Amino acid sequence: MADPACHNESCAYQWKSQLDMDKPCGAVSSEETCWLCHDLTAWNRVMNVLALVLEESRPGMLLLRCSVEKKPDSEQVTAARQASFLASWLLRHHPLLASSQSRAEQIVLPDIGELSLDSVSAIFNALALNKRVNHLDIAVKQEPDARVALLCETLKKNGSMKHFTIVIENVDSGTEILRALAANAAVSFLYITLRMVAIEKTTEAFSDMLSRNNAITSIVVDLYGEGAQQFLDLIVKAMSGNKLIVSFISRVGYYTYVPTSILESVRRNKCALNRAVEFVLQRRDDRRGGECFELFAGRPCLTTHLIEVAGITDADAQLKVVAAEHRIQEKYFILTDIVRHSMVCWPAGVTQFDALNRDCCRAISRYLRLTDPPSEMVTVPWMSKFTIRF
């Protein structure tokens, strides 16, 4: 615990008397399991006091979660601070906990206002170093401060977090966090609870996130407070321009309420996802299917939906996605209607397009998207004489 990020020396000394915190991570490769998996009971004797539990979510998989019980506020704050240092140490000293055999995937933190600035800095620095943690759960109840700023900075820069769950009870902090989410390029599933009065700037920030974010494909929104229903009605326009969200669930209080216009946007996006899957499975091998595939390629929702539709394994789904990418490169000029079958150029004293081999054509198409050429090509009489032979 000589790490400078661990600021509480007394807490570290107490933990050392009961836990082996100097023992290095045992997972030296992705085929091995860290010794932490076998010492969960000993660790949890101490960690339970800190409102943390380390458990196997499935064989060989570690989950670090919060188990806060009702305690006096002072005790809860102290436990939360100590817990943040312990969680930070786990992430720093066990980077291979996130291997395929043993990994801490989810971090659940209490209200960020219960943690000191040093605690928040330590845990977010650890998250920045550990690229395998993909689920963060946190609450923000106070006015914007340095801790909220650190959270926003993490959201803007983190490229590994896929699931983000947050409870927000302050309008100004909520606005800052929504603006940070607009710039996030990794989170695909967002579960956000807003326990505050919906005002204009919050609505604008949420709408801006829907318009600018290019990663989120699934959203769950729980709204409490005045103006909740109007809040949803006002984000309809932003949602109509979003092409990626294929699941949108919203609840006002304890009742589900999703405006019809939002449902229509989700159905449109889900249809595009279905076309992408059909393209991968070669059921409809056309330009529209290819464009939809390019839109969802690299996103978890495509692989998940492909597995459900085709009834295949995750590994097989990944192989089919790669094959679809290669097929677009192979058939790019035909899919975009630039070439119908083949092309032959008129004789000239220079190397022309028809002299390019298949590898050259694939290399060119690698830098292009199917949406780059106009969808309707204008044909002139002399163009019919041109053919490309691949």
pLDDT tens digits, one per residue of 277-298:
999 999 988 889 999 999 999 8
> Taking all residues of the chain, what is their mean pLDDT, rounded to a whole number?
78
Task: Please give the residue that has the higher pLDDT: either 113 or 272.
Answer: 272
Q: What is the dihedral of CA 69, 72, 78, 84, to 10 degrees?
A: 30
Plot region of 225 (φ>0 → left; ψ -120 to 50 → alpha; else → beta): left
How confident is the model over 314-333, as a mean pLDDT?
A: 89
Q: What is the DSSP letter of 54?
A: E
**Rounded to an integer, what distance in angstroms lies between the CA atom of residue 10 and that of residue 47?**
16
Mean pLDDT of the region 359-384: 64
Distance CA 226, CA 389 (A): 65
With contact defined as beta carbons under 8 Å apart, do 217 and 245 qualify?
Answer: yes
In angstroms, rounded to a whole number, what is the distance separating the alpha carbons of residues 84 and 90? 10
The mean per-residue pLDDT over the stretch 171-187 comes to 94
Instruction: Give the pLDDT score at 73.
Output: 53
Q: Report pLDDT for 196.
A: 86
Neighbours of 199 (CB within 10 A): 16
Strand stretches in the chain, DSSP E:
52-58, 61-66, 104-111, 135-140, 163-168, 189-195, 218-224, 247-252, 255-256
In this predicted structure, the answer to whether residue 2 has a pLDDT above a threshold of 50 is no
Average pLDDT over residues 107-131: 83
For residue range 22-37, what is the model confidence (pLDDT) as tens digits? 777 766 655 566 777 7
Residue 212 has pLDDT above 70, yes or no: yes
Of 189 and 330, more confident: 189
- Length of the chain as a residue count: 390
Percent of the chain with pLDDT over 90: 36
Residue 77's pLDDT band, with cuts at 50, 70 and 90, is low
pLDDT at 6 over 60: no
Give me the pLDDT at residue 102, please.
41
Model confidence, pTM: 0.69
> What's the sign of the alpha-carbon dihedral 44, 45, 47, 52?
positive
Q: What is the pLDDT of residue 385?
A: 40
Q: What's the mean pLDDT in 356-382?
A: 66
Stronger pLDDT, 267 or 130, i.e. the higher one: 267
